[in-house]
Structure 1
Amino acid sequence: MGGVFSLVKQYPFVLATLLVAGTAGALSVTSAAGLVPWLLGGFALLMAGRSFVGMIKELRSGSFGVDLLAITAISAAVAVGEYWAALVIVLMLTGGEALEDYAAHRATRDLTALLAKAPQTANRMSVDGTVTVVPIEDLSPGDSVLVRANEVVPVDGTLDSESGEFDESSLTGESLPVELRRGDEVLSGVVNGSAAVTITATRSAQESQYQHIVALVEEAASSKAPMVRLADRFAVPFTLISLLIAGMAWWFSGDPVRFAEVLVVATPCPLIIAAPVAFMAGMSRSARGGAIIKNSATLEKFHRARSFAFDKTGTLTYGQPSLVAVRATPRAQGAGLTENELLRLAASAEQSSSHTLATAVIKGAEARGVHLMAPESALESTAKGVQAVVDGRDVAVGKRTFIEQIVGAAIPRTALSPGELAIYVAVGGRNAGALILKDQIRKNSAETLEILKHHGIQHFTMLTGDDIATAEHVAAQLGIDRVRANCLPADKVEEVKNITKRPVVMVGDGVNDAPVLAAADVGIAMGARGATAASESADVVILRDDISRVAHAMVVGRETVNVALQAIAAGIALSLAFMLIAAVGNLPAIVGAWMQELVDIVAILWALRASRGRDVVPELHASTWKSSVSASA
C-alpha cells in the first residue's frame, strides 16, 4: 500500500484523469448524464490550461516541446463536442509525463550511501595515552588519532607509528597495499592494515581528502546540462505541419469543424508515449543482462557516444593481486626444491595470515592444484611477513628486508615487469626464491573494447592512480593509446572534461571514481565489487563482475533509441495519413478519435520491441573474431 500511495502522490494528475473518466462513465448511465460533457470538457480545458502554463515556462527558457499541439488538440476536441477524445488526449499527456519522469534524467545524485560510509567518529588520544571517541568534526590539526586495525582513516594526517600498511584502493585505485613510514602522509578514506597505528591530524575533517571527494561528486553532478527529450526534437516540425494541414482544411472548406477533425488525429500521443515506453523496455532488457540503467537520458547519450574512458584497477583489471610466477633460486632447485614445492611451503605458512597478499598466494596454490598443509607453528610480524614450521621445515615468507633478517645476508631483487610485486621465501634459514604477484587484465577487457569499436567508438582513454610504467603496460596490451597516470580524483574529473569527442562515457569503481563518474556524460560503475560511492554517482551500475556488460549496456542503449525513433516515425506517418483524410472531410471527429487510438497502439507496440533481443556481446564477439581472422588471413 505504501508503494501505491507513493505513486499516487507522485503522479496525481494521472490519478485525477482516471477518476474523472470513472465518474463520467458512472454518470453517463444515470439521470445526471447531462453533466458528463461539462465534467469532461471542464477537466480537459483545466489540464490544457496547466499545460499552457508549463509551455510558457519552457518558451521562456528557450525550449519548445509537444505541449502546444496537445493544448490545441484538446481545445479543438472540446469545441466540436468530442469530450471523450479530449480526455484521452489528457490521459496520454499526463501518462506520458509520468512515464518520462519515471525514466527521467536526474541532475543530482543521492549521496546518502557515500556520506554514510564516511567515518563519523574518531579515537582521539590525549598526552597520557587515554583514548576518547569523538565526532570527527571535533578533531583539529595537531590532534593525535588512534586508527585501529581495518578501520578507515578519519582525517588527513602524518604517521606517528614506525610503519603501517594501508589499502589506498578507495582513493588511488591501486589494489596492492602500500607501506608507509613514520612522517609519511596518510589520507582520509584509506583503510588501515592489520595493526593499529597513530597519526597526527594535519587537516580538519571538512578539509580532508574524503570530504573533498564528496564535494567533487556534488559539484560534478550539479554541473551536468539538462537533457532535451527525444520527442521534443520532432515537436516543432510536427506541430507546424499539423496546424498547416488543419488550417488549409478550414480555409478551403470554410468549415471550422474540419480544423478540429484534423487536429483530433494530430494529437501528439505517439511523441508523448512512444519514447518513454521504448526507454523503459530497453532499461528492462539491460537489467536482465546485468546492467542497471538509471535514467532515459543515458540511453540517448549512449546513442550518440563517441568516447570511452576507463579506470584501470578493478575495471580493466581484476583489482586483486594474483599469483603469476614462482621462482626458486638455483641453490634451492639443486637441493630438490621445485617451484611447486616452494609454493606449497609458502602457501601453507601464509594460511596463518589474513593479509591480502597471503590470500593471493593461497588462491594461487589452490589454482595450481598444490596440496597445502597446516603449519605446526606460526608467527606473523605485522606488515613484514610470516614465520612458520611446515612439514618440519622452517619457512619464512614476506618482504625482502624481512627475509634478509631471517637468512642474515643480502638478497638480490628479482626482476619484475611493470605492475608486479615480489614476495620472498626462505626455507631452512636460506633464501629459496620469490613469488610474483600482479593485478591481471580481465579476460574480456580486450573483447569489450573490440565490441565498442565495432559500434563506432574510436576514442579511448585510461585514467589511473597507478604509476605511468604500469599504466602504459596495461594500455599497450589493450590497444589504448591515451593514458593518464598518477591521477587523484580531481585529476580524473579534469581529464574527462578535456575530452573533446563527446558524449564521453566513463567506466570505473571505488570511491576515487565517484567524482569522475558524476562528471562524465555517462558514468558506469562496476557495482558488483560493492563500490557504493561509485554506484550512487553513476548513471549505469554493472551488477556482475563482468566488464563486457558495459558493451551490452551501450548496444542496448543504441538499439533502444533506434526503436523509439522508429515508433515515433510510425506514429507520425500514420497521423499524417489520417490528417490528410480528415482534411478532405472523409474522417469525422469521432472516427478520428478512434483512429488516433489505433495510432497510439501501433506506436506503443512498436516501442515495446525494445524489450526484446539477445545478449549482443557473444554474437558481436563472434562477428569481430571472424573479421579479425579474415583480416589476418
Structure 2
Amino acid sequence: MTSQKPFVLRYPVFASTIVLAIVGGVLALSGLEGAARWTISIFALAVAAKESVRMVRSIMKGSWGIDVLAVTAIIATVLVGEYWASVIIVLMFTGGEALEDYAESRAKRELTSLLNNSPQIAHREVTAGATTEDCPVTELALEDVVVVKPGELIPVDGILLSDEATLDESSLTGESIPVERVRGDQVISGSVNGSAAFRMKVTARAEDSQYQRIVALVTEAAESKAPFVRLADRYAVPFTAVAYVLAITAWVMSGNPTHFAEVLVVATPCPLIIAAPVAFIAGMSRAARHGIIVKNGGTLEKLARIKTVAFDKTGTLTHGQPVLSSVVSVGVVDENELVRLAAIAEQYSAHTLAQSIVQGARLRSLTVTPCEDVVETTAAGLTANIEGHTVVVGKYSFIAQQDPAAVRVDIAAGELAVYVAIDGKFAGALLLRDELRADAPDTLTWLSLLGITHTLMLTGDGKVTAEHVAKSLGVTNVQAECLPLDKVRAVEAVTDRPVMMVGDGVNDAPVLAAADVGVAMGARGSTAASESADVVIMKDDLHRVARAIEIGQQTIRIALQSIWIGISLSLILMILATFGLIPAVVGAGFQEVIDVVAILNALRALGTSRWLARLHLAQRSVQPQQSSV
C-alpha cells in the first residue's frame, strides 16, 4: 500500500525538480537568464549522474533498460543549451514514481480492501450466554464461543450456535447476494454479519482461518513482480538503438547538435517502465474482484497462453457427494418406505454414502426418526432394529447372507447400488450417483470460445465412470484410476503447453504444483491444494476457471497495447524531430502526453472490454445442461 509519509519525503527528487523549475522561472522572468540556466543545468546533471549510477549497476547485472535514453537526453539538452527541455525530462523521469504509485493504488483497490478489513478484535464469551470480553483475534482458542455483532466481520472460522444468521460473503467469494446460515453450519472468517448478533464456536485459530489464508495469498500477489516487466525492458534495447540512429542522423543531416538532443527528448518512453506493471496489477485486482486470487503477475502471462486445461473429476467436475437418484423396490415395501427405513438406519453411520441416503430421504419429505440396536459391520453394511423390524443395509454380498434370493439390480455407468433387506427378505436397492456440476458444461464451452481446444480429465475413479463423465462434457482426453503421482506424470507428459490443472483435494496438491498453472477450488478445497496452486478460486463456481483465463488474455493484450502505444507515438515524434519539426521543450511536453495515454490504457485491465462482453453474451446463450454420472 502507498506510504502515508508527506509527499515531499516520499518523492524528494520530484519535489526538488518542481521547486528548481519554479526558481528557474523566477530568475528568467527577473532578467537573470544566465543564473536560471546554470541553476537548472547543474541540477539536471546531478540527477543524470544519480540515475547513471543506477543505470550502470543494472547494465552490470545484464539488464539493459531505457534509463540510457533518459540520461543521454538530459545531458544532451544541457550541453546544447536547451535547459528547459532538460528540466521537463527530469520532471517526467522522476515524476514517473509518483504517477506509478497513483496508478497502482487505483488498480489495487480490490486487493487492498481485503488487507484493510482483516478482523482484529473478537468478543469472546466469559460465561455462557452472559458476558463477553474483547480480545485480539490471535488469542482465540479452539472451542471458544464468540459473539459477532451486527455489521461486524466474523473473526475466525467456526460453527454457528445461534438458530440462524444472514452473512455477506462478497469479499471472500465475489457473490453479492447475502447467504442464510442455520445452526450447525460452517461460518467463514471475513464474512460480514447482517442485522442480528449471533454466537459461534471457534473451529480454527486465526492463522488457520479462511480470511487470513486469503490475506496471505493477496499479500503475495500484491508484492510480486511480473516477468513481463522484464519483457518490456527487452523492447527497450532495439528501441534505444533506433533512437540513437535517428538522433545521429538528425545531427549529421543538419550539422546542428541541437537536433540530436531534440530526437532523444521524445525517445524516453516511460510506458515501458510503468504501463506494463500497472496493467498486471490491474488484472490481478480485477481477478480478486471476481473471487479469483492470482498469486503473481507471471501467472497472468501464463494464463493468457494456456493451451491445455486438465481437471480432477470428483469435487471439481462433479459435486463430489453422491445423491439418491432412483429406488428399486421388489414389493416388500414401497419406494418411500424403503428409503425411510434405510435412512433411519444410516443416520448413525460415518460412511460417506450414509449422509447421501439420509439427505435423499429428507428431499422426499420423509421423517427420519431415532432407532435402536444399530450394529455396523466394517466394509459390509449395518443392521438396525426399527419399529419392530430388522433392517439390513449394505453391499449385495452382505444382503445375500440375509436372503440368498437377493438379486443384483442393473446400474448405469457411474452409479452405485446400496441394497436393503427387511426381516430377512430382500426388499430392493437405492441407486446413488455423483451428479455433474451444473456449471461444468458451460465452463467447457466457454473454454472453447477462449481458444482452449485440448482438455484432459485426471481421476482416481474407474475407467467406465471416467469415460462417461468425459463424454458427457466433451472432454477430449481422460485418464482413469490415477494415483497422485500418476496425475503428475500425466501433466508432465502434455505437449500442448502451457497446461492448467484444476483440482480441490489434498491429493491434487502435487499435480497443481507440477502444472504450469495450478488452480485450486479453494472455497471447498484443502489448504494443501490452495498453497500448491498459482490461482485460488474463492467461490465454488467452475465458471471462474474460464474467467481467470479470460482476464489473463485481456491483461496481456492491454499490456502489449500500452507498450506499443508508447513506442509508436515516440517513433512518430522522433521522425518529426529528425527533420527539426519539434523543438526540445515541445517534444518533452509531448512525451508526457504519451506517458499518460499509455498508463490510462493500461488501467483498462481493471474493466471488461467490448470483446469480452460479446464473449459473455455467447457464453450465456448456451443453455445450462443437467447431467449426471
The alignment's TM-score, normalised by the length of structure 2, stands at 0.69
Q: Does the 8 Å CA contact 2:17/2:91 hold for their aligned counterparts?
A: no
- CA deviation map 1:200-224 (0-9, x unaligned): xxxxxxxxxxxxxxxxxxxxxxxxx
What's the CA shift for 1:58? 2.4
Query: Does 20-29 or 473-482 show the bigger shift?
Result: 20-29
2:391 and 2:326 map into 1 onto residues whose CA distance is: 19
Give the 3 Å change call, closer, same or farther, for CA 40–528 of structure 1 in structure 2: farther
Mark the runs of 5 or more structure 2 residues left unpaired by the alignment.
Answer: 28-34, 109-225
1:625 and 1:373 map into 2 onto residues whose CA distance is: 37
Q: Does the 8 Å CA contact 1:505/1:523 hold for their aligned counterparts?
A: yes
Give the 3 Å change call, closer, same or farther, for CA 556–99 of structure 1 in structure 2: same
2:246 and 2:603 map into 1 onto residues whose CA distance is: 30
Q: Does the 8 Å CA contact 1:349/1:378 hold for their aligned counterparts?
A: no
Which residue in 2 is equivalent to 1:621? Answer: 619
What's the CA shift for 1:35? 6.8
SS at match of 2:302: helix
Q: Does the 8 Å CA contact 2:88/2:585 hold for their aligned counterparts?
A: no
2:228 and 2:483 map into 1 onto residues whose CA distance is: 29
- CA deviation map 1:438-482 (0-9, x unaligned): 222222222211221122221122222223222222212222232
SS at match of 1:551: helix
- What amino acid sits opposite 2:281 in the alignment? M
2:62 and 2:98 map into 1 onto residues whose CA distance is: 17
Q: Does the 8 Å CA contact 1:353/1:380 hold for their aligned counterparts?
A: no
2:244 and 2:461 map into 1 onto residues whose CA distance is: 61
Which residue in 1 is equivalent to 2:56? Answer: 52
1:68 and 1:519 map into 2 onto residues whose CA distance is: 40
1:18 maps onto 2:14 in alignment? no
Which residue in 1 is equivalent to 2:359? Answer: 363
What's the CA shift for 1:535? 1.7
Percent identical pairs in the alignment equals 49
What's the CA shift for 1:380? 4.5
2:595 and 2:302 map into 1 onto residues whose CA distance is: 26
Which residue in 2 is equivalent to 1:342? Answer: 338
What CA RMSD, in Å, does the superposition of the two structures yield over aligned residues?
Answer: 3.6
1:275 and 1:525 map into 2 onto residues whose CA distance is: 27
Which residue in 2 is equivalent to 1:569? Answer: 564
Give the 3 Å change call, closer, same or farther, for CA 44–560 of structure 1 in structure 2: same
Which residue in 2 is equivalent to 1:472? Answer: 467
SS at match of 1:434: strand
* Alignment partner of 1:428 out of 400, 423, 430: 423
Which residue in 2 is equivalent to 1:351? Answer: 347
1:421 and 1:395 map into 2 onto residues whose CA distance is: 20
SS at match of 2:321: strand
1:378 and 1:76 map into 2 onto residues whose CA distance is: 96
- CA deviation map 1:382-406 (0-9, x unaligned): 644444444554433233344445x
Which residue in 1 is equivalent to 2:261? Answer: 260
What's the CA shift for 1:437? 2.1
* Alignment partner of 1:551 out of 546, 550, 553: 546
2:8 and 2:344 map into 1 onto residues whose CA distance is: 67
What's the CA shift for 1:40? 5.3
- What amino acid sits opposite 2:409 in the alignment? T
Q: Does the 8 Å CA contact 2:345/2:371 hold for their aligned counterparts?
A: no
Give the 3 Å change call, closer, same or farther, for CA 448–516 of structure 1 in structure 2: same
Instruction: Report matched runs for 1:171-190 at 5 Å.
Output: none
SS at match of 2:407: coil
1:597 maps onto 2:588 in alignment? no
- CA deviation map 1:520-572 (0-9, x unaligned): 22221111113222222222111111111111111121122222222222222
SS at match of 1:46: helix
* Alignment partner of 1:463 out of 433, 444, 458: 458
Which residue in 2 is equivalent to 1:88? Answer: 92
The alignment's TM-score, normalised by the length of structure 1, stands at 0.68
Give the 3 Å change call, closer, same or farther, for CA 424–41 of structure 1 in structure 2: farther
What's the CA shift for 1:18? 0.9
Q: How many residues align?
A: 487
Query: Does 414-423 or 287-296 show the bigger shift?
Result: 414-423
- CA deviation map 1:178-200 (0-9, x unaligned): xxxxxxxxxxxxxxxxxxxxxxx
Q: Does the 8 Å CA contact 2:74/2:90 hold for their aligned counterparts?
A: yes
1:376 and 1:75 map into 2 onto residues whose CA distance is: 92
1:518 and 1:21 map into 2 onto residues whose CA distance is: 43
- CA deviation map 1:75-118 (0-9, x unaligned): 54665531352253245379769999x99xxxxxxxxxxxxxxx
* Alignment partner of 2:485 out of 476, 487, 490: 490
- What amino acid sits opposite 2:357 in the alignment? V
Query: Does 371-380 or 74-83 show the bigger shift?
Result: 74-83
* Alignment partner of 1:542 out of 527, 537, 540: 537
Give the 3 Å change call, closer, same or farther, for CA 417–558 of structure 1 in structure 2: same
Give the 3 Å change call, closer, same or farther, for CA 40–65 of structure 1 in structure 2: closer
Mark the runs of 5 or more structure 1 residues left unpaired by the alignment.
Answer: 9-13, 104-224, 629-633
Give the 3 Å change call, closer, same or farther, for CA 373–464 of structure 1 in structure 2: closer
2:245 and 2:489 map into 1 onto residues whose CA distance is: 49
1:467 and 1:257 map into 2 onto residues whose CA distance is: 77
Instruction: Report matched runs for 1:61-100 at 5 Å.
Output: 65-73=65-73, 75-76=75-76, 80-81=82-83, 82-92=86-96
What's the CA shift for 1:72? 3.8
1:228 and 1:300 map into 2 onto residues whose CA distance is: 11
Give the 3 Å change call, closer, same or farther, for CA 234–308 of structure 1 in structure 2: same
What's the CA shift for 1:244? 2.3
- What amino acid sits opposite 2:248 in the alignment? G
What's the CA shift for 1:602? 0.8
Give the 3 Å change call, closer, same or farther, for CA 253–27 of structure 1 in structure 2: closer
- CA deviation map 1:340-380 (0-9, x unaligned): 2211222233223343211111222333x332231232524
1:377 and 1:71 map into 2 onto residues whose CA distance is: 87
Q: Does the 8 Å CA contact 2:103/2:603 hold for their aligned counterparts?
A: no
Give the 3 Å change call, closer, same or farther, for CA 598–29 of structure 1 in structure 2: closer
Give the 3 Å change call, closer, same or farther, for CA 497–226 of structure 1 in structure 2: farther
What's the CA shift for 1:598? 0.8
Q: Does the 8 Å CA contact 1:377/1:389 hold for their aligned counterparts?
A: yes
SS at match of 1:440: coil
Query: Does 269-278 or 375-384 show the bigger shift?
Result: 375-384
Q: Does the 8 Å CA contact 1:292/1:543 hold for their aligned counterparts?
A: yes
Give the 3 Å change call, closer, same or farther, for CA 370–379 of structure 1 in structure 2: same
What's the CA shift for 1:262? 1.8
Which residue in 1 is equivalent to 2:274? Answer: 273
What's the CA shift for 1:496? 1.8
- What amino acid sits opposite 1:438 in the alignment? R
Q: Does the 8 Å CA contact 2:47/2:90 hold for their aligned counterparts?
A: no
- CA deviation map 1:15-40 (0-9, x unaligned): 98712223454577789998776555
Q: Does the 8 Å CA contact 2:45/2:74 hold for their aligned counterparts?
A: no
Which residue in 1 is equivalent to 2:394? Answer: 398
- What amino acid sits opposite 1:371 in the alignment? L
SS at match of 1:441: coil
Which residue in 1 is equivalent to 2:169? Answer: none
- CA deviation map 1:293-326 (0-9, x unaligned): 2222222223222222222222222222222222
Give the 3 Å change call, closer, same or farther, for CA 493–68 of structure 1 in structure 2: farther
Give the 3 Å change call, closer, same or farther, for CA 24–481 of structure 1 in structure 2: closer
Q: Does the 8 Å CA contact 2:312/2:503 hold for their aligned counterparts?
A: yes
Q: Does the 8 Å CA contact 2:413/2:468 hold for their aligned counterparts?
A: yes
Instruction: Report matched runs for 1:61-140 at 5 Å.
Output: 65-73=65-73, 75-76=75-76, 80-81=82-83, 82-92=86-96
